[in-house]
Chains A and B, each alone.
Chain A
Amino acid sequence: MTDEPLLRVTALSKYYGSRIGCEDISFDLWPGEVLAVVGESGSGKTTLLNCLATRLLPTSGTASYRMRDNQWRDLYRMSEAERRFLMRTDWGFVHQNPADGLRMTVSAGANVGERLMAIGDRHYGNIRSTAVDWLGRVEIDEERIDDEPRAFSGGMRQRLQIARNLVTGPRLVFMDEPTGGLDVSVQARLLDLLRGLVTDLGLAAIVVTHDLAVARLLSQRMMVMKDGHVVESGLTDRVLDDPRAPYTQLLVSSILQV
């Protein structure tokens, strides 16, 4: 662990008119750390994620990111060109619906290779072998490299989306309900795969989920959100095993035991 965080969020608020999206959110995220943001629909967790990923502009507050050259940059004061470059190199964004994050009409190989081509890789053979390698890492058969994701199952699509995001070796990945639309058995495989990749690559990640099992498996730290506010935060196992806020207790007690 390094001495400096990767992301610093200070008093971040987003209002939709007079309605609160999220309000007064502050936290630091360190390299290699996975933060789960949990809460029910409408709790503001996705608004927060979109603000952090600069897909939404917050109403107030700041978020600073430590670039690869160790310079701190205010995310909301970067030029669009810089921000987009950051988003396709040093960041990843895994959407709940893989169709939102993939190009459904180009092959799996090109989906993985796009980021490489975007940063100037011009050697077909190298791009393809990198794509093969990444398909392997997300457990997609190499033979499917020229198939379009339209022909893939939901779980495969999600794994392809992950490979597409990780191919440039990002340091920070945003995930919005990464296992949301999947069957339970498929979820388990994806989660396990994600956990392995996050550990092996030392990724920092912010994972928005309503599923506490996902939070438990992936994250070291979590924030519980309700009505746009963080009601409880701390070590994931502490929050889940000794929930203190009324809402967290409700969440934890609502898990069905198998």
Chain B
Amino acid sequence: MATPLIVSEVAKAFTMHLRGGIRLPVVANVSFSIRAGECAVLGGPSGAGKSSILKMVYGNYGVDQGQIIVDHHGQLVDLATANPRTVLAVRRDTIGYVSQFLRTVPRVSALDVVAEPLVARGTARDEAHARASELLGRLNLPERLWSLPPATFSGGEQQRVNIARGFITDHPVLLLDEPTASLDATNREVVISLIEEKKLRGTALLGIFHDADVREAVADRIVDVTTFAAGKAAA
């Protein structure tokens, strides 16, 4: 089975120049891979570096050491060293991301927010809107909200917009940062089934789920982040 994402010996520390240059190690020696159709869940307590790993894989955090190899259109790209343009191309076509919070843009409707990743990849606006409507419908977002900018939505509503936006494309790799945190039971079930569908389609998923029920339901494998604790590697 294909392995679209390989993380190898990645290390990350924050250097706080404003606090006398102290160095805060986050993780070290992070190594794991995810196969197509598999959902791996980063496990470990808060502060273990789960979010940082996810952000490094998305190119949102810099990587100090190691490699993050992703299969981008059949080419192996190392996100740890890729230039910004490559990272943007990878994000557009290969790695999707459902963040914890929606960064809202004023005056853009929920439907457009969701459809945007498809439009960016060249899908016709009508078709993208149709797909977006379908997803928002499945996630039970009231239809009267679709044409409104999500800035004023509740946390749960915003999160569902965010989930729809992340799931609308067929990126081979999908990163999920607590997508169910502010959802009710019904919508959690919807997300679980969306994840199942992705797995069946061969998407490699990497996620953080604090909700044990969801984690149980979707995880094929737990990647224990505590084994990557920076102190441990140094020891």
Contact = CB atoms under 8 A, between A and B. Distances in A.
Partners in one complex: yes
Interface of A: 1, 30, 33, 188-189, 192, 195, 217, 220-221, 234-235, 237-238, 241-242, 244-246, 249-250, 253
Identify whether the interface residues of B are mostly helix, strand, loop, or mixed.
mixed
A235 B17 contact: no
Given A192-B106, A238-B59, A220 B17 contact: no
A194 to B, nearest CB: 12
A201 B84 CA distance: 21
B105 A234 contact: no
A189, A192, A221, A238 — which one has the most chain B CB atoms within 10 A of its CB?
A238
Given A188-B106, A217-B105, A242 B62 contact: yes
Interface in B48-103: 55, 59-62, 84-85, 87-89
Contacts of B105: 192, 195, 217
B16 interface: yes
B113 to A, nearest CB: 13
A234 B84 CA distance: 6
Given A188-B106, A220-B84, 4 more contacts: A192-B105, A234-B84, A238-B59, A249-B17
Nearest to B63: A242
Contacts of A237: 60
A151 B55 CA distance: 48
Given A192-B105, A249-B17, A30 B60 contact: no
A1 B89 contact: yes
A47 to B, nearest CB: 23
B144 interface: no
B1 interface: no
Nearest to B21: A246
Given A30-B85, A192-B106, A235 B15 contact: no
Contact of B88 (A195, A217, A220, A246): A220
Contacts of A33: 85
B87 A235 contact: yes
Given A192-B107, A217-B105, A244 B15 contact: yes
Contacts of B87: 235, 238
